[in-house]
Structure 1
Amino acid sequence: MECIFLHGFFPFCIWLVLILPPSQFWHLQESYEIVFGNMIRTYIASAITFVISFMISSYVFQKIKVKKRGFLFQRIFRSLFISEMIAVGLFCFIAFYGVWPMIDMLHFLVFSFCTKVLYEIIMYPIVTKRVILWFKRAEQSDMLDSQTNFSPFRWEIDYSEENNLFKA
C-alpha cells in the first residue's frame, strides 16, 4: 500500500516544486520545468501500470499454480508475458501518447517488452528460481491460492495448512 501511495505522492511533490516561485538566484527554472514537468506524466503512467500489471501478474501466476500444481517457470513466464504486454502498452499510451509519434511508441513498446522478457528468461535459472526456492524452504511454505479473492479492495488473505504444498 505504501508503494502505491508513494507512486502518487512523488509526482505531487514535483508538481508542487514546479508551481512554487523559484529562489531569486535560480536562473534555470525554465529548463527545470521542461525536465521535471514531463516527468510527472511518466510517473503517473508508472504508478497506474504498476498497480494494474502487478494485480494481473499475481492473478495469472496463482491461477496457473492452482491448475498445474507446479511448473514454476511456466507460471513465471506466462504471468510475466501477459502482465508485461499490458504494462508496457498501457505505460506507453499514458506516458507518450500525443508526445511521441506512434512509430516511436511502437519501437519503444517492442524493445521494452522483449528486453524484460529476455531478462527474466536469462535470470530465472541464475537468480529467480533460487531465491523462490530459498524462501519456500525458509518459510516452509508454498501456498496454493485456490480460495483467494483477488479483489484489489480486500486486504486480508486466509491461508490454511491444507493449502500448503511445501514438501521438505
Structure 2
Amino acid sequence: MSMFEDMTKTELYAILTGIFTASLIVSNIIAGKTFDFFSFTLPCGVVIFPVIYIVNDVLAEIYGYEKARKVILLGFFMNLVAVICYQITILLPAPAFFENSEAFSIVLGSTFRLLVASFAAYLAGSLVNAKVMVYLKKWDENKLFFRCIVSTLFGEGLDAIVFIFIGFLGTMPLEALLLMIVAQALFKTVYEIIVYPLTRTVIFKVRKLPEV
C-alpha cells in the first residue's frame, strides 16, 4: 500500500475500479477449469476470489453502497463486452495455418446457460455482499471482521445458489447441487477469513487517505 499513500480516496477509487473489473474478467476465463479440493470440485475462479472480495469490501466500507454498486455494474458491463468480443473472435474464420481454433473456442467460448448463470450470480452475490457490508456498518461500526465475513457468507451463498441452480439444474441429482452450493460458499468464506488480515490492513490504510 505504500505506493498509494500519496493518493486521495478519489484517485484510489478509480484504481480499485480497474482492479475489480480486470479481476472479474480474469475470473470468468479461468472459471472454465475446475480442480479437486480434497473431495470437492471447485472452479479455478476461486484463485482470484480474494482480490475481488477484498476490493468489494473496501469499496462498500470506505465509499458506501452506491459507489460500490456502480463499480459492480461496470464490472458486469465490461464482462459482457469481453464475452461479446470472445464470441465474435471465435466466429471469425481463421487462416489455414492457425491450428488452435478449437482450443481457443473451448477456453473462451461458453454455453448460453452458463453465461446467464455466471452473470446473474455475479450481480446478485456482489450487490448483496456490498449491501450487507454497509448495513452492518450502520448497525455497529467497530466489528469489521464480523462485517467482512457475514457479508461474504451472504454474498457467496447467493452467488453459489444462483450460479449452480441456473447452470446445472437438471444435469445432476439435487443432492449433488446442494453439496456444491454449500462447498463453494463455505470454501470462499473460509478463504475470506484467511485473508482478513490483509483486508483489514487495506481498509485501515485507505481510511487515512485524504478525500480529494
TM-score range, shorter chain: 0.5 to 0.7
Residue 72 (structure 1) shift: 0.8
Runs (4 or more) in structure 1 with deviation over 6 Å come to none
CA deviation vs aligned residue, 1:67-118 (integer Å, no higher than 9, x gap): 2232111111211111110011112223333455545433432222111010
CA–CA distance in 1 between the matches of 2:99 and 2:165?
34
1:128 counterpart = 2:196: no
**Unaligned residue ranges in structure 1 (runs of 5+):** 141-168
Residue 53 of structure 1 contacts residue 83 of structure 1 at CA under 8 Å; is this kept in 2?
A: yes
Normalising by structure 2, report the TM-score. 0.55
Quote the residue 1:94 is aligned against. 166
Equivalence map 1:22-37=2 (5 Å): 22-26=94-98, 29-30=101-102, 32-37=104-109
**Unaligned residue ranges in structure 2 (runs of 5+):** 1-72
Aligned-residue CA RMSD in angstroms?
2.7
Quote the residue 2:15 is aligned against. none
1:57 counterpart = 2:145: no
Instruction: Decide whether aligned partners of structure 1 residues 18 and 12 sit closer, same or farther in structure 2, where only a CA change above 3 A counts.
Output: same
CA–CA distance in 1 between the matches of 2:169 and 2:201?
39
Q: How many residues align?
A: 139
Residue 133 (structure 1) shift: 0.9
Q: Which has the higher helix share?
A: 2
Quote the residue 2:86 is aligned against. 14
Answer with 1 or 2: which has the greater Rg: 1
% identical aligned pairs: 26
1:76 counterpart = 2:148: yes
1:114 counterpart = 2:186: yes
Quote the residue 2:110 is aligned against. 38
